[in-house]
Structure 1
């Protein structure tokens, strides 16, 4: 039997929250687009799966995400509106962002053109710059955790934690192909830190630029033993070099988020300007 509550559109998720349609999920949560009567607006509800309600680590993860989102406020990070960890179906009520996730966009259309890719890099760098100054590591930056709204937004802070806690980790955390080497083998490959999120940014931007991953899923953790796959010829050299710098094995060799933003801005400025009826549209 699948680990789901068996909801359908129109069902009540919790008082004041009506299910509209399923929008994905993962091992611990199912996610629903819902209507929130209090906000009188669509929201996303992350609903803990039945098999995880009594799992201490899952409940701890829910409360960690609540704690993280409650103290963060940035245009590039999803907002938390409400939660109830004591409900029969523990849940979070999150901002509904109008747009697909980056992973599904790439799967459907392939690599992103530069006029989408460069703003994406700037927006994610902005979010990571903010998290760095707030002392928070996301630890799961990947295409499926990026919603292509305006601006793009990072979601799913279920494994995010203060940098002090991240530096003390002694076990792997993250998603295999998007984990920095030090996330795979903490202590052996280095200390988990803000630079680990920059590796996730590099792996995410690589897939968005190329349409395929920098490292295959099998064998596990190829990033520990092999170099990234070659980028396609159509990726500008300067952009490719920046992406590969984020994927440096040594965390101290990776750029800061502000460095990445500073390098992307002139690339974006150099893109051809849109024209309408022969007239250039000025910015």
Structure 2
């Protein structure tokens, strides 16, 4: 039996929240585009799946995401509007970002062109710089957790935690191909830290730049024994070197998010100027 609430467009998720269409989800949550009557605006609602309502760890994950989102305020991090952890369908009401997630965009169209890729890198670096200064590790930076709005936004802080808690981890956390080596084997390959999010950024940017993953899914955790695949020839060397530096096995060898941003800015300045019907458009 499918672990779902069997909602359809027009159904009430909760009082004042009307389901519009499904927009994805995972093992613990299903996600719906919805209309919020209080805000009188479209939103995204993450609903704990029926089979997880009574699972303590699933409820703890919901409350952890509430706590994280309640203290964060950045253009590149999705906003929380409301939540209910006590009703029959525990849920979060989140900002609706107008755009596809990066994973689906790559699946449909392949690698991103430079004029889209470089701003994405700059916007994600900005969000990671902010999280670093707030003492928060996202721990699941990957294409499906990036919504390609204006600006791009990081979503899903269900496994995010304070840096002190991340450094104390003794078990793997994250999504296999986007986990830094130290996330796969905490303690054995260094502490999980903000540098782990930089690794996730590098793996995400690699897929966006190349159209394929830096590491294969099988065998699991190839990043522990292999280097990343070669980037295609059409990726500029300067950008390729930056992405590769983010995938350094040693966390100490990875750049800071602010250093990533500083490296990308001049690359953006060198992008060709667009022209339309003979008129110059300054980027």
For the residue of structure 2 that corresponds to 1:92, the secondary structure is strand
Query: Deviation at 1:176?
Result: 0.1
- What is the aligned partner in structure 1 of residue 41 from structure 2? 41
The separation in 1 between residues aligned to 2:155 and 2:223, in whole angstroms, is 24
Give the Cα separation in 1 of the matches to 2:186 and 2:227: 20
Q: Give the CA deviation at 1:7.
A: 0.5
Structure 1 counterpart of 2:198: 198
Specify the alignment match of 2:207 in structure 1. Answer: 207
Partner of 2:110: 110
TM-score (norm: length of structure 2): 0.99
**CA-to-partner distance for each residue in 1:224-272, whole Å, 9 max, x for gaps?**
0001000000000000000000000000000000000000000000000
Q: Structure 1 unaligned runs (5+)?
A: none
Offset, 1:219 = 0.3
SS, match of residue 44 in structure 2: strand
**Over the residues paired in the alignment, what is the CA RMSD in angstroms?**
0.5
Report the secondary structure of 1:173's partner residue.
coil
- Tell me the alpha carbon deviations over residues 191-211 of structure 1, each in whole angstroms, 9 at most, x when there is no partner: 000000000000000000000
Partner of 2:6 in structure 1?
6
Deviation at 1:281, TM superposition (A): 1.8
Deviations 1:56-110 (A, max 9, x none): 0000000000000000000000000000000100000000000000000000000
Distance, in Å, in 2 between the alignment partners of 1:180 and 1:88 is: 37
Name the structure 1 match of 2:229: 229
Q: Deviations over 1:140-170 (max 9, x none)?
A: 0000000000000000000000001000000
Q: Distance in 2 between matches of 1:83 and 1:276?
A: 46
| 1:52-67 alignment, distance < 5 Å | 52-67=52-67
**Corresponding residue SS for 2:165:** helix
Q: Is 1:90–2:107 an aligned residue pair? A: no
- The aligned counterpart of 2:18 is 18
- Within 5 Å, give how 1:165-184 maps onto structure 2: 165-184=165-184
Q: Per-residue deviation at 1:275?
A: 1.1
- What is the CA-CA distance between 1:134 and the residue it aligns to? 0.3
Q: Secondary structure at the match of 1:245?
A: helix
Q: Secondary structure at the match of 2:120?
A: helix
CA distance in 1, matches of 2:10, 2:77: 28
Residue 279 of structure 1: CA displacement?
2.9
Q: Could you give the per-residue CA deviations for residues 106-131 of structure 1, whole angstroms, max 9, x where no partner exists? A: 00000000000000000000000000
Q: CA deviation at 1:278?
A: 2.2
Misfit runs of 4+, over 6 Å: none
In structure 1, distance between residues paired with 2:208 and 2:33:
26
Give the secondary-structure state (helix, strand or coil) at the position aligned to 2:128.
helix
Shift of 1:280: 1.8
